[in-house]
Amino acid sequence: MPSMPTGGYSTVSKAGTGVDAVIYDVDEAQFEARVLKGSHAVPVVVDFWAAWCGPCRQLTPALERAASARAGKVELAKVDVDANQRLAALFRIQGIPAVRAFRDGRMAAEFTGALPPSEVERFFDSLVPSAADELALSGDEASLRRAIELDPAHAGARRELARILLQRGETAEALEHLERATGDFVADGLAARARLADDEDLAPAFTSWDAGEPADALERLQAALPDRERQDLIRRVMVAIFTELGADHPLAREHRRRLSAALN
């Protein structure tokens, strides 16, 4: 396979900061390493273009400005479709310019055509962590509270703050946050746990969950399932642990099967 074109790599400085945004040409030989594997570190936006394409020439400056403005948080890779026809076919590029964004090795977003610069900026914003996202990743209470101030709808920050509060026994405030973290299975399980907070029999299961011992936590929760009054709340806690483990984790598979049998 051909090597990456000579001179294909460049850096564009973000004005006044001295920070470089990486913008580079990439070919089929380099695509997996630079784009797919690279997107585990930062999102990579791929511009499929050709020299003869007028709309491509209109879009390119907007893409490069957006990447430069987010230096260190996103990369822009450029693929010449004439020189990389198999790569274009692999991603079903039927019209250009075509833009595909990759995160964690998978395509996360896309568009085709020369969008206005304002829409290009919004596209990049959707890929780059916000200030609230970055604060939420820190995991400490002060940062989580600040993340919620910046973005009251940030479900992840509310969920993780609630987890800290539950471990301290501050159930009422934890529930306030969890009720606003909609659409999150882990948050729903934590809310169920909050409603079981006074149940001394289940306290060891929650302690094991907090200690990173899901096997023990799930065994204890399974043992409590025959109690019909608590069954649905216990099920929700177990689903939260399954979600954290991942669908294909052996513990999740085993206990999901056992949970299904216990409920039927």
CA distance 206 to 190: 10
pTM: 0.63
Give the tens place of pLDDT for each residue, 176-225: 999 999 888 999 999 999 999 999 999 999 999 999 999 999 999 999 99
What fold is seen in the domain 131-263? 1.25.40
- Of 21, 56, 155, 205, the catalytic one is 56
The reply to whether 105 belongs to the active site is no
Residue ranges covered by each domain of the chain? 9-127, 131-263
- pLDDT, tens digit (0-9, with 9 covering 90-100), for 183-195: 889 999 999 999 9
Q: Which of 21, 53, 81, 93 is catalytic?
A: 53
The helix/strand/coil state of 18 is coil
Sign of the CA dihedral 32, 33, 38, 43? Answer: negative
Residues above pLDDT 90, as percent of the chain: 74
Q: How many CB atoms within 10 Å of residue 78?
A: 19
Superfamily of domain 9-127: Glutaredoxin (3.40.30.10)
User: Over the chain, what is the mean pLDDT?
Assistant: 88
Active site residue 37: no
Q: Are 166 and 193 in contact (CB under 8 A)?
A: yes
Q: By the 8 A CB rule, do 65 and 77 touch?
A: no
pLDDT tens for each residue of 92-117: 999 999 999 998 888 889 999 999 99
Q: Is residue 1 predicted with pLDDT exceeding 50? A: no
DSSP-based three-state secondary structure for 225: coil
Res 134: pLDDT = 85
Return the pLDDT at 186: 95
